[in-house]
Amino acid sequence: MEQLLDDALKIKSLEIQGATNVAISAIDFLSNYAKRLKCENIETCFKKLYDAQVILIDTRPTEPAMKNGLKYIMNKLEQEKESIIPEYISDIIEKYKNLYYDMLQNSKKRIAEIGARRFPPTSQKFNVMTHCHSSLVTGIFLEAKRQGKSFKVINTETQPRLQGRKTSQELLKAGIKVIHVIDSAMRWAVKHYQVDIIIIGADSITSEGTIINKIGSRLLALVAHEEHVPFYVASPLLKYNPETNLGILETIEMRDPQEIWENPPEGIKILNPAFETVSRRYIDGLITEAGIFASSHVPNYFAKTYPEMV
């Protein structure tokens, strides 16, 4: 359990970033934990695994891709519970971990292919903007580059943890032109560089089509609305939270104030919300492995694409 707690801290401390990376790491941590388990009977095994699931889910309240992955594995185990021999439970978990990993990777590849179609042929000048770091969004940019399309990316530094730097580094390494701006220069950048399209990622999608992403995302959506710039969200359907269909509200994670100010003057209250919502009214389309559609249609597409998770 001590090793699992150390692993969980890597997610909680943001050592591991990006919703897809968090999901992959969490199911990997559960699988590794199962390999270390020594159980007298299957009931004890399941209790310990469910405890581990809770520990991992609690690291990041706003990560449905992680929750869906852990629940997928545990649901599959429940279906085979009567026939499982405790000493082989880790092998079964490894099998379903790999299946979920393949789902994420296949969806990522498909989203990159679909998203890259929004970029015009090489002969046209094209400026795209993004916020924070999303492996799915960078995947779209890399696929467009691979196809020989010419474009420039404007990205934000993303306070307070500066995840935008990771985006810049990945794109520069691939030979993509990047302009890096401070978060408060979002509107200026959209106007000054005549941005043609904005694409951001998502940490969660609700049943109403609202997306939850890094703080600053709604500001960029409002800028896009004001300037008549198409605003897209790239996300696998696995980031849909089915619980929101039952009236349960997504939690906005409040992070450590010291991320903003390490030694503030006494008496000041510092708030550090990590995420915010973007209403479906500001989203022109959701780019998913099932295609591009209005974000409000997510529940139907999720049920069709992943019926075993409904």
Partner residues linked to 285 by β-bridges: 232
Q: Is 51 a catalytic residue?
A: no
The secondary structure element, H or E, covering residue 142 is helix 135-146
- Identity at 300, one-letter amino acid code: N
Is the bond into 160 cis (omega within 30 degrees of 0)?
A: yes
Q: For each of the domains in the chain, give its residue range(s) and CATH number, in order of start.
A: 2-109 (1.20.120.420), 115-309 (3.40.50.10470)
In the predicted model, is pLDDT for residue 249 greater than 90?
no
At 248, the pLDDT band (50, 70, 90 cuts) reads: low
What are the C-alpha distances in Å from 34 to residues 39, 41, 226? 10, 14, 51
Active site residue 203: yes
Cα–Cα distance between 89 and 67 in angstroms, integer?
20
Confidence of residue 250 (pLDDT cuts 50, 70, 90): confident
Distances (CA, A) of 258 to 76, 94, 304: 40, 38, 43
- CA separation for the pair 140, 129 (Å, rounded): 12
* pLDDT at position 208 over 80: yes
Catalytic residue among 7, 183, 196, 203: 203
Q: Which of 81-90, 138-147, 205-214, 215-224 has the lowest mean pLDDT?
A: 81-90
21 CB-contact burial (10 Å; exposed 0-12 / middle 13-18 / buried 19+):
middle
Query: E strand or H helix at 110, and its extent?
Result: helix 89-116
Residue pLDDT, tens place only, 28-67: 999 999 999 888 889 989 999 999 999 999 998 778 899 9
pLDDT, tens digit, 9 for 90 and up, residues 160-191? 999 999 999 999 999 999 999 999 999 999 99
Identify the active-site residue in 7, 132, 183, 196.
Answer: 132
Q: Is the pTM of this model over 0.85?
A: yes
* DSSP secondary structure letters along 7-44: HHHHHHTTSS-SHHHHHHHHHHHHHHHHHH---SSHHH
